[in-house]
Amino acid sequence: MKNTWDIIVIGGGHAGCEAAYAAARKGCKTLLITMHKATIGAMSCNPAIGGIGKGQLVKEIDALGGMMAQAADYACIQYRLLNRRKGAAVHGPRGQTDRALYQQYVQDFLNKQPNLTIAESEVTDLIIEQNRCVGVCTAHDEHLRARAVILTTGTFLRGCIFQGQKRITAGRHGEEAATKLSERLLSYGIQLGRLKTGTPPRLDKNTIDYSRLTPQPGDEIPHYFSMLTSQTFQQQVPCHITHTNPQTHEIILSNLESAPAYDGSISGKGPRYCPSIEDKLHRFADKTSHQIFLEPEGLSSDLVYPNGISTSIDTDTQEQFLRSITGLEKVEVIQYGYAIEYDYVDPRNLASSLELQQLPGLFLAGQINGSTGYEEAAAQGIMAGINAANICNDSAPLQIARHEGYIGVMLDDLTQKGVTEPYRMFTSRAEFRLRLRADNAPQRLCSIAIEQNCLDPERRALYQSQQQHYAAAMAILQQKASPNQLKLAGINVNQDGVVRDGYTWLGFSHIDFEALRSVWPELATVPQDTQTQIALDSHYAHYTEVQDREIQQLQKEAAVKIPQNIDFSKLQSISHEVRQLLAQNRPETLGAAARIQGITPSALAHLMILIQSQKLPQHDSAQSP
């Protein structure tokens, strides 16, 4: 390896892969360092991509030029659109993937990427000069310098696996933890916390009685992740559903003393929305059954992933409770479940660019920031890669606002609110989610990717073509028609005499493109995906117009200037703690004040009122005579 790089990425998980790819395609000489090349792109837990909120993140990664969506489509063996019974704004595309095919796609993709070198080593230290990270040291005593370093360590920072009373220092099953790097981060004054996650046992599919299970097929019409995908690559297969029962629960509850989460061995908090089976029985004691999804790990694999029974209980108990479940009476376990506890950095120490404020030049992405999930990690990775490259190019960091993408929601939540448990994306976290549909991610973010020079020519051309189709369709839909004209065309509407344009008529629940073609035949040339998007835009138009006004008001308020001679210590309507924070940071605008860790919405409201009323105490030295 050469000794000088533009960007060094540590870790070959989902965050590290997206970070390295983003940095390289922006023209930076990038080095990806991983302890094992063979595990780059590994799906450490469930063999699936997407879901509610998560699927939107995958679509946004694709719109920014990332690779996760393409890898997911290539390896997908079952597509399902979640939340289908609800509105399109909260639909969640999900794909069951072939674990081996996904990993191979990622490795092949990165190996062909210009400007990217992959090396196998352990990073043991950071090179710090004048309070700035300027490189790394490896276990091979190499000193590698870079203008920016991206740390994506996943669960490897002082990772410890728990399986009953067994304790193993590891980053994941069969792989050593990164302990020296944790120690060095602590020595630089970076505060670390502990979180935990877990995984279920892996089962031998040949020992499962599928005749007793409920099959769960995929969608007949798949919803692809990438805007580049136009076909299904792999054979589509069903998953299967079974359930725990009172006997299962009795076996687990009788052996809780062997579960490390209940004997005090684990201090870190686990994900609330993906609890272990032990946690489920504790939190939902009134339930006599919990659903289990038996998910194939691949077309050529004998492994089955039982989604819903993550556990760290001892292996004998795991085998007992599994064999109490319908269809699993004779099941053989290939790998037992376990919990893993690991270090994370309080994400409130990060700028919105994901650069660590205590150590400029060092970016963090993925589970090291307190998040959980492949999609959350990859989304942070692509943002860290883009922003690290922007440092090298002397450009401003990329910021995605909360109303522009779920990525913006996540980064704002992490860096402003911090975490008390592993952070997982949900549509409910986005107050402007009616604007943030999975289908319109390219329209929201591709133009940003083009400005950032990180969108490949193929996606750029496709996006521009889609925009042209959209504009052409909208030009037709700007034409107006009366209720009587629609009636004559066979469309039944209230004859209220109000003349409306085609876009407005399309917002009526019983009117679609096919109906409007009887009024404007030229709509027949509009591609199906454009029709779908415009129809959804029209359906949500009233609500998004309201949200647009709210966004404009928020942006207006954020731009409000705070007088520089204000004496924050005399603002009695604001708490003493907040007054101190304002005095220390002296923000120039309300928007800057809102980004200060610890500033509450209530304090901002009081400050806004004081500014508008001009009742702001000033420093005596700054007052006019």
CATH superfamily of 560-623: GidA associated domain, C-terminal subdomain (1.10.150.570)
C-alpha 580/C-alpha 586 separation (Å) is 10
Give the largest CA-CA distance in the chain.
90
Mean of pLDDT values over 259-274: 79
Which tens digits make up the pLDDT trace of 369-381? 999 999 999 999 9
175 pLDDT higher than 90: no
Report the chain's mean pLDDT, rounded to a whole number: 92
Mean of pLDDT values over 387-392: 97
- Three-state SS for 429-486 is HCCCCCCCCCCCHHHHHHHHHHHCCCCCHHHHHHHHHHHHHHHHHHHHHCCEECHHHH
Residue predicted with more confidence, 499 or 581: 499
Mean of pLDDT values over 278-293: 93
In order of 168, 370, 424, the CA distances from 339 in angstroms are 11, 16, 18
C-alpha 368/C-alpha 32 separation (Å) is 17
622 pLDDT higher than 50: no
C-alpha 95/C-alpha 78 separation (Å) is 6
Q: What is the pLDDT of residue 608?
A: 81
Which tens digits make up the pLDDT trace of 84-122? 999 999 999 999 999 999 999 999 999 999 999 999 999
Per-domain boundaries in the chain: 202-339, 469-546, 560-623
Residue 624's pLDDT band, with cuts at 50, 70 and 90, is very low
Q: What is the pLDDT of residue 274?
A: 82
Contacts of 513 (CB under 8 A, 6+ apart): 506, 523, 526, 531, 534, 535
Residue 615's pLDDT band, with cuts at 50, 70 and 90, is low
Q: What is the pLDDT of residue 625?
A: 31
256 pLDDT higher than 50: yes
**pTM > 0.75:** yes
Return the DSSP state at 397.
P
C-alpha 246/C-alpha 255 separation (Å) is 14
Which tens digits make up the pLDDT trace of 557-570? 778 888 877 888 77
Residue 621's pLDDT band, with cuts at 50, 70 and 90, is very low
Look at residues 538, 590, 550, 539 and name the one whose alpha carbon lies nearest to residue 432. 550
For the chain, state the CA radius of gyration: 27
Q: What is the pLDDT of residue 56?
A: 98
Q: What is the pLDDT of residue 558?
A: 79
597 pLDDT higher than 50: yes
Residue 619's pLDDT band, with cuts at 50, 70 and 90, is low
Look at residues 161, 142, 181 and name the one whose alpha carbon lies nearest to residue 10. 181
Q: Which of 37-41, 159-163, 587-591, 603-607 has the highest mean pLDDT?
A: 37-41
Mean of pLDDT values over 479-499: 95
Residue 620's pLDDT band, with cuts at 50, 70 and 90, is low
Percent of the chain with pLDDT over 70: 98
In order of 366, 558, 589, 610, 619, the CA distances from 573 in angstroms are 39, 20, 19, 9, 17
User: For residue 623, which amino acid is it?
Assistant: Q
Percent of the chain with pLDDT over 90: 75
In order of 335, 482, 504, 507, 530, the CA distances from 474 in angstroms are 55, 18, 11, 13, 10
Q: What is the pLDDT of residue 400?
A: 95
The answer to whether the CB of 4 falls within 8 A of the CB of 27 is no
Least confident of 66-70, 138-142, 303-307, 315-319: 138-142
The answer to whether the CB of 124 falls within 8 A of the CB of 139 is yes
Q: The domain at 202-339 falls in which architecture?
A: Beta Barrel (2.40)
Which tens digits make up the pLDDT trace of 434-454? 999 999 999 999 999 999 999
Q: What is the pLDDT of residue 583?
A: 84
Residue 482: count other Cβ atoms within 10 Å of its Cβ: 15
Q: Which of 168-172, 231-235, 412-416 has the highest mean pLDDT?
A: 231-235
Residue 617's pLDDT band, with cuts at 50, 70 and 90, is low
Which tens digits make up the pLDDT trace of 206-220? 999 999 999 999 999
